[in-house]
Structure 1
Amino acid sequence: MNEVNVDVAVIGAGTAGLAAYRAAIAAGRGAVIIEGGPYGTTCARVGCMPSKLLIAAAEAAHVTEKWDTFGIRLEGTVRVDGAAVMARIKRERDRFVGFVLKGVDNIPADHKLRGHAHFLDDHSLQVDDHTVVTFGRAVIATGSSPSIPPALKGAGDRLIVNDDVFDWDDLPSSVAVFGPGVIGLEIGQALHRLGVRTEVFGRGHFVGPFSDPALKAYATQTFGEEFPLFTDARVSSIERVGDGVRLMQDFDDGSSTVKDFDWVIAATGRAPNVKHLGLENTSVTLGANGVPEFDRTTMQCGSTGIFIAGDANNDVPLLHEAADEGRIAGENAARFPQVLPGLRREPIGVVFSDPQLATVGRRFADLVPDSFVTGEVSFEDQGRARVVLRNRGLLHVYAEKGSGRLLGCEMIGPDVEHLAHLLAWAMQSGMTVQR
């Protein structure tokens, strides 16, 4: 068994892990980074980048549908070459992953350990069956994995997760997407616009990231007018049949419908990769979901020298948050026990559907009733939006009663990513309705 002694051990070489490792090294500490899977971040390999490539192809196919209203006539038909669409997605995806791999290649070989790590105690890890790492501090940055409800398992080998979409060589003829959240809406709408017969199924009337009833209703109506969207579906059976999947959907009037699809895509959330880390061998306190309790300003788990960052902590699963958390965790691991709070951004999340969805700051459900007022703006008669035929949207901004301090926002509308960034800056600056 090999033995390694180091100041800081980082478990996971994704966005958070790389940021933590670099921060520890920059602080002058000795560090190793341990990875049991393929190098390359979730964002580059199966997340942000390939999904945006799919969306970009869908937007290119969809734009022609509005030409006639502008007086521009299209002779013939638009044909989507599914194989060419997927070839570009994979080609560009591999290019983005390559940038990450170059960064990993620049890490000295003796700072990298390959294998799955688990804790032996508060100051030692075992990596597979080949290495024991003794450390002063550790950063858990093991990311997350798709979570699949047991009810979908009847689809057999025709059940995939959203990550698997980007390995297709061609577009299928039909898909059933389960989960109308951030990922499900993006992928579902994109596939629909690329000519794939798509239906999206959810439970509990959830849609996107929204908690405001008015925004949920508006988004449900808007997307439901473009493709079949069932936000509280009752699917009584799913089975593998022939070359695809057959499901039975039940309705409130007592009727049922049988539907056949090529694939079932589970876009039903992600779970933190902490189950096999041996955290029970440490003195950290575990929450109900097995994730260590931690301080989100320092990333420290209790009073220990163990820190947790990125999707592994199940807090805010976004790229920029993972990078921030990794840096904070790495800096604090390097200076431990003198742990300091790091600067956290105003929460912001964007769904790159059309229209886009965004939340900034505190959502409606996070606010104390009667402590705030709501400002509302509709995009339906907004000049710029109507000029470009994208006048579907609704914005709710929440402000504290009395002080007028901006608290949060939920919105759907054309390119609201830009409004979201403006509001995030305003909230981080402590601005009010008056100034």
Structure 2
Amino acid sequence: MSQNFDAIIIGAGQAGPSLAARFSAAGQRVAIVERKHVGGTCVNTGCMPTKTLVASAYAAHLARRADEYGVVLDGAVGIDMKKVWARKQAVTMNARTGLEDWLGGMPGCRLVRGHARFTAPHEIEVDGERLSAPKIFLNVGGRASVPDLPGLAGIDYLTNTSIVELDTLPEHLVVIGGSYIALEFAQMYRRFGAKVTVIERGPRLTAREDPDISEAIRDILVKEGIDVQLGATEMSFAPEGAGVAVSVAGDGRAAIRISGSHVLVAVGRVPNTDDLGLDKAGIETDARGNVIVDDQLRSTVEGIWALGDCNGKGAFTHTSYNDYEIVAANLFDAGQRRVSDRITAYALYIDPPLGRIGLTEEEVRRSGRKALIGRRPMTRVGRAVEKGETLGFMKVIVDADSHAILGAAILGVGGDEVVHGLLDGMYAKAPYTTIQHAVHIHPTVSELVPTMIGEMQPLT
């Protein structure tokens, strides 16, 4: 016998609790199944803990620069990693507990602890108990991808999940990967006082960004004392005392040996779809394991949707929440919202942060359209100068004929916030002249966006 619900949500990550609340508010019975921690990646191993750690690392970095601001500190800046960890843990646990309390107070909502597996298209089993519903939502998230590299299985490596549980400082952290997760941890631990080496198999960091952005990011990290090894097409690992030896070669270079105390593997993410029995429900996935969905997040099986990191449509907390908004609007509000309505937007949380929206310069150039581009170094932004944080630059690209804003990248102080003014303009389908003629507050970083737009030149 199965216990019947109006809806079952598998996974209590970003989209799950909010969707459960909509079913509860509609007077329907909903089960939300979670095999580990309520809150998913964002609350437990992603955004909240990592940005809390980033904040502690920034405080240490700023303290070391105190003399530049005329502030006198007695003695060297020290790091108490146990206090750093405790602060991170408090932020995570407060958020997790808040979500658990919210779910526990929803009428008609049952939180089921355990691992869900399909037994039929609209029936799952959780630790021997069978649950069924005409509507099922997959919100199972993702995990770190671990490549098959020589010797890696024979060492105790870290992933983004295990590194946030460290309450001690690595002597030498070797980071495998050169993209967003990898670089945030690399800078963070360098600022905590660890020696850090980043190893990337590609020719540059952050490969999805324009080359000028990648190079600026590399310069920022190198200036802080991070060793960056690019073009590392050959890697192998071996235990070395209490640590690990990493052999790196590529591009015809002789192999070098790097001795580290810890290794962080941060080369990408894979969806948690391989152990759900999707075949029992007839749910199709792509080559990477993402659940195949249409523009309204419906899977290939009637009555089953996929939201968040497991559908390959964004893999960010904000896109996961937008997935919830799309599904909820279409189910409860007679809406017609679609994934294709949203504009690419994300951030890299090194310091200074990168805010990125829309198309890159390279994508616009490949499209062949007539475009204008504006650039401005942060050294020419008064607010950045006043704060003593002038690393990076910003750029915007627009369509020369339609005047539509095509994309922007702001690598600089406040870049993750400033970029939203341009993003809102894109959603409003406003011409770039709307922002160019806007009067912004002085002194801010945002006030130089209209100036940058006014100085645009043809993209060649």
> Are the structure 2 counterparts of residues 78 and 402 from structure 1 closer, same or farther at C-alpha, using a change threshold of 3 Å?
same
C-alpha distance in 2, partners of 1:209/1:354?
Answer: 19
The amino acid of 1:189's aligned partner reads Q
Contact 2:297 2:327 in 1 (8 A): yes
The Cα offsets for residues 383-416 of structure 1, whole Å up to 9 and x where unpaired, read as 2222322111122212123011001112311120
The Cα offsets for residues 357-401 of structure 1, whole Å up to 9 and x where unpaired, read as 121123345544321332222213332222322111122212123
Q: Which residue of 2 aligns with 1:320?
A: 318
Superposition deviation, residue 185 in structure 1: 1.1
Contact 2:20 2:109 in 1 (8 A): no
| Alignment equivalent of 2:344, drawn from 331, 342, 347 | 347
Range with bigger deviation, 261-270 or 81-90: 81-90
The Cα offsets for residues 163-183 of structure 1, whole Å up to 9 and x where unpaired, read as 112212222211111122111
Q: Which residue of 2 aligns with 1:229?
A: 228
| SS, match of residue 387 in structure 1 | helix
* 1:161-200 aligned within 5 A: 161-200=159-198
> Are the structure 2 counterparts of residues 91 and 19 from structure 1 closer, same or farther at C-alpha, using a change threshold of 3 Å?
closer
> Are the structure 2 counterparts of residues 373 and 281 from structure 1 closer, same or farther at C-alpha, using a change threshold of 3 Å?
farther
* 1:242-257 aligned within 5 A: 242-250=241-249, 252=251, 254-257=253-256
Alignment coverage as a number of residue pairs: 430
The Cα offsets for residues 77-123 of structure 1, whole Å up to 9 and x where unpaired, read as 11222233223222333223222222233246872323222223332
The amino acid of 1:424's aligned partner reads L
C-alpha distance in 2, partners of 1:252/1:208?
Answer: 19
C-alpha distance in 1, partners of 2:5/2:100?
Answer: 24
C-alpha distance in 2, partners of 1:11/1:153?
Answer: 35
C-alpha distance in 1, partners of 2:40/2:424?
Answer: 27
C-alpha distance in 2, partners of 1:326/1:262?
Answer: 41
Asked whether 1:383 is paired with 2:382, we answer yes
The amino acid of 1:207's aligned partner reads L
TM-score (norm 1): 0.90
> Are the structure 2 counterparts of residues 236 and 30 from structure 1 closer, same or farther at C-alpha, using a change threshold of 3 Å?
closer
* 1:381-420 aligned within 5 A: 381-420=380-419
Contact 1:90 1:166 in 2 (8 A): no
C-alpha distance in 2, partners of 1:380/1:22?
Answer: 47
Contact 1:209 1:358 in 2 (8 A): no
C-alpha distance in 1, partners of 2:7/2:108?
Answer: 16
C-alpha distance in 2, partners of 1:364/1:303?
Answer: 39
Contact 2:145 2:267 in 1 (8 A): yes
| Alignment equivalent of 1:160, drawn from 158, 161, 164 | 158
Greater relative contact order: 1 or 2 (C-alpha under 8 angstroms, separation 6 or more)? 1
C-alpha distance in 2, partners of 1:64/1:41?
Answer: 33
Q: Which residue of 2 aligns with 1:266?
A: 265
Q: Which residue of 2 aligns with 1:132?
A: 130
Contact 1:346 1:361 in 2 (8 A): yes
C-alpha distance in 1, partners of 2:361/2:216?
Answer: 15
C-alpha distance in 2, partners of 1:111/1:88?
Answer: 31
C-alpha distance in 2, partners of 1:271/1:175?
Answer: 23
| SS, match of residue 202 in structure 2 | coil
Superposition deviation, residue 206 in structure 1: 4.7
Contact 2:244 2:263 in 1 (8 A): yes
Superposition deviation, residue 430 in structure 1: 0.9
Contact 2:353 2:413 in 1 (8 A): yes
Q: Which residue of 2 aligns with 1:361?
A: 358
The amino acid of 2:129's aligned partner reads T
C-alpha distance in 1, partners of 2:108/2:70?
Answer: 61
C-alpha distance in 2, partners of 1:24/1:188?
Answer: 42
Q: Which residue of 1 aligns with 2:285?
A: 286
C-alpha distance in 1, partners of 2:153/2:274?
Answer: 26
Contact 1:188 1:198 in 2 (8 A): yes
> Are the structure 2 counterparts of residues 407 and 265 from structure 1 closer, same or farther at C-alpha, using a change threshold of 3 Å?
same
TM-score (norm 2): 0.86
Contact 1:24 1:333 in 2 (8 A): no
Superposition deviation, residue 307 in structure 1: 0.7
> Are the structure 2 counterparts of residues 115 and 152 from structure 1 closer, same or farther at C-alpha, using a change threshold of 3 Å?
farther
> Are the structure 2 counterparts of residues 209 and 423 from structure 1 closer, same or farther at C-alpha, using a change threshold of 3 Å?
farther
Superposition deviation, residue 252 in structure 1: 4.8
C-alpha distance in 1, partners of 2:335/2:3?
Answer: 25
Q: Which residue of 1 aligns with 2:453?
A: none
| Alignment equivalent of 2:149, drawn from 127, 148, 151 | 151
Q: Which residue of 2 aligns with 1:207?
A: 205
The amino acid of 2:390's aligned partner reads N
The CA RMSD measured in Å over matched residues stands at 2.5
| SS, match of residue 158 in structure 1 | coil
> Are the structure 2 counterparts of residues 425 and 334 from structure 1 closer, same or farther at C-alpha, using a change threshold of 3 Å?
closer
The amino acid of 2:125's aligned partner reads Q
C-alpha distance in 2, partners of 1:184/1:236?
Answer: 17
Range with bigger deviation, 45-54 or 275-284: 275-284
Superposition deviation, residue 250 in structure 1: 2.7
The amino acid of 2:305's aligned partner reads F
The amino acid of 1:37's aligned partner reads K
Superposition deviation, residue 3 in structure 1: 1.2
Contact 1:284 1:304 in 2 (8 A): no
Contact 1:146 1:161 in 2 (8 A): yes
The Cα offsets for residues 298-337 of structure 1, whole Å up to 9 and x where unpaired, read as 21124721111011112212222212212433454568xx
Range with bigger deviation, 366-375 or 300-309: 366-375
> Are the structure 2 counterparts of residues 183 and 325 from structure 1 closer, same or farther at C-alpha, using a change threshold of 3 Å?
same
Contact 1:155 1:245 in 2 (8 A): no
Structure 2 residue runs without a partner (length 5+): 435-460
> Are the structure 2 counterparts of residues 169 and 30 from structure 1 closer, same or farther at C-alpha, using a change threshold of 3 Å?
same
> Are the structure 2 counterparts of residues 25 and 87 from structure 1 closer, same or farther at C-alpha, using a change threshold of 3 Å?
closer
Q: Which residue of 1 aligns with 2:66?
A: 67
Q: Which residue of 1 aligns with 2:102?
A: 103
Superposition deviation, residue 153 in structure 1: 5.1
Contact 1:310 1:325 in 2 (8 A): yes
Contact 1:208 1:351 in 2 (8 A): no
> Are the structure 2 counterparts of residues 311 and 396 from structure 1 closer, same or farther at C-alpha, using a change threshold of 3 Å?
same
